[in-house]
Amino acid sequence: MARKAPPGGKARTRAGAKVRPKRAAFDGRDQAHDAALRAALLRWFGLARRDLPWRRTRDPYAVWVSETMLQQTRVLTVVPYYERFLRELPTVGHLAEATEERVLALWSGLGYYRRARMLHAAAKEVAGAHRGIVPSDVESLRSLRGVGAYTAGAVASIAFGRRAPVVDGNVARVLTRLFAIEDNIKSARGNARVWRLAGELVPDGDGDPGDWNQALMELGATVCLPRAPACEDCAVRTFCAGREQGIVGRLPRSAPKKAPLSVTRVAVVLASERAVLLARRRGDVLFGGLWEPPTADGGVAELASLLGVDPRTLERAGDVVHVLSHRRMRVEVARGPLSGRRRWPLPGTDYDAVECVALEDVGARAQATLARKVLAVAGVASSL
């Protein structure tokens, strides 16, 4: 039997022969445990994986687009956006050459529009500095604008088979439960611990790193659910320390979420039978680059005056409530007739363009879901 090795030292058998220590003990694991866990989860993933469009390709550009869209967004929501995006912009070169307006239009309704702008900017970097070839290593991927550790790890492992970890909300939940990690995963220490563990678990010759990462994500998305994990159906339940210790329900630990900020705004929809007035938000503000009916923080009369419209010609259309990750927006919508004026003033400092848009063209403009809701309340949606 081997004695316990001193820190950083080597264990010896009773006979005095040196033995190579198992991988540094961390969370009560050893190499045999990790290998058996990997085999069980990869076997399950091979049988249970959902057939998703981005899983039918190893094209790094397609993987990159899908992983960017999947951040903060549900799989079923992403599928039609992903398919249309790849159909319209099938290569990184197509994306690099597209206008921001077109990219945002393809992203309209998916939310978190900064992701689209960053993806577009990074595609230009790939087209230029990388001669159109998506880099295969984490470091080069991370040097691209908007590409963080998660996306870099996903592209490197899934498209190129590199030994790179990924940690998203699903992976963090699965790992903290499997290894009974009680650190706050939002803390620097907890986050580093989960990333280190994820890195140590990536297969090294005994499985595909991309499949492993996707298997962890899949388990989190379909079995190890936040509120009701299906432990009895879980392929790795015999490895699960959280389950054994009866603490799954309180994992992962994180700081309580802040209540979303309540914001009240007003919107004025000026429309005729043929057109509606839309304004484009500046690139550096919320919903940057997207078109919407003029909206402001003040009152309807104030916004009408910015537009040079008599507020008495406006009527109340209703309210729209829209919840973003950190704010809950209530927008009071007023509508009125669109005059034949050719030039319109910018309706505030958040905008850099204003235009009368033909109703049949409104749907092709880059818009947030909130703008679509505002138009719908004002009765313009049927024309979209």
Which x/- pattern, by CB under 6 A, does the window 242-281 give for ligand SF4?
A: xx----x---------------------------------
In whole angstroms, the minimum distance from the beta carbon of 223 to ligand SF4 comes to: 5
Q: Which of 157, 162, 141 lies closest to 216, judged by CA? A: 157
Q: Tell me what percent of the chain is helix, strand and coil, each rounded to the nearest 5.
A: 45, 15, 40
Helix H or strand E encompassing 271: strand 261-271
Q: Is the dihedral of CA 321, 324, 328, 329 positive or negative?
A: negative
Which of 68/176 has CB closer to ligand SF4? 176
Which of 95/171 has CB closer to ligand SF4? 171
Task: Candidates 237, 253, 282, 330: give the one binding ligand SF4 (CB under 6 A).
Answer: 237
Helix H or strand E encompassing 267: strand 261-271
Which of 209/252 has CB closer to ligand SF4? 252
Task: Candidates 178, 279, 303, 356: give the one binding ligand SF4 (CB under 6 A).
Answer: 178
The window from 3-11, 85-93, 233-241, 290-298 that contacts ligand SF4 (CB under 6 A) reads 233-241
Any contact of residue 29 with ligand SF4 (CB under 6 A)?
no
Q: Which amino acid is at 179?
A: F
The window from 139-147, 240-248, 287-295, 326-334 that contacts ligand SF4 (CB under 6 A) reads 240-248
The window from 57-65, 228-236, 294-302, 308-316 that contacts ligand SF4 (CB under 6 A) reads 228-236
In whole angstroms, the minimum distance from the beta carbon of 73 to ligand SF4 comes to: 22
Which residues on adjacent β-strands are paired with residue 268? 334
C-alpha distance from residue 226 to each of 64, 86, 186, 248, 338 (Å): 26, 31, 16, 10, 49
In whole angstroms, the minimum distance from the beta carbon of 238 to ligand SF4 comes to: 8
Q: How many alpha carbons fall within 13 Å on the CB side of residue 243?
A: 18
Any contact of residue 378 with ligand SF4 (CB under 6 A)?
no
In whole angstroms, the minimum distance from the beta carbon of 175 to ligand SF4 comes to: 9
Any contact of residue 314 with ligand SF4 (CB under 6 A)?
no
Any contact of residue 111 with ligand SF4 (CB under 6 A)?
no
Integer-rounded Cα Rg, in Å, for the chain is: 26
* Burial class of 13 by CB neighbour count within 10 A (0 to 12, 13 to 18, 19+): exposed
Total residues at interface with ligand SF4 (CB under 6 A): 15
Which of 142/237 has CB closer to ligand SF4? 237
Cα dihedral 241/245/251/255 (nearest 10): -120
The window from 100-108, 226-234, 252-260, 373-381 that contacts ligand SF4 (CB under 6 A) reads 226-234
Q: How far apart are CA 303 and CA 314, in angstroms?
A: 11
Which of 169/363 has CB closer to ligand SF4? 169
> Considering only residues 70-99, where is the footprint of ligand SF4 by CB under 6 A?
none
- Confirm whether 67 is a catalytic residue: yes
* Count of Cβ atoms closer than 10 Å to residue 350 Cβ: 20
Any contact of residue 231 with ligand SF4 (CB under 6 A)?
yes
Q: How far apart are CA 316 and CA 23, in angstroms?
A: 68
DSSP 3-state of 331: strand
Q: Which of 266, 264, 327 lies closest to 295, judged by CA? A: 266
Q: Where does this chain bind ligand SF4 (CB under 6 A)?
A: 174, 177-178, 223-224, 229-231, 234, 236-237, 240, 242-243, 248
Which residues have a catalytic role annotated?
67
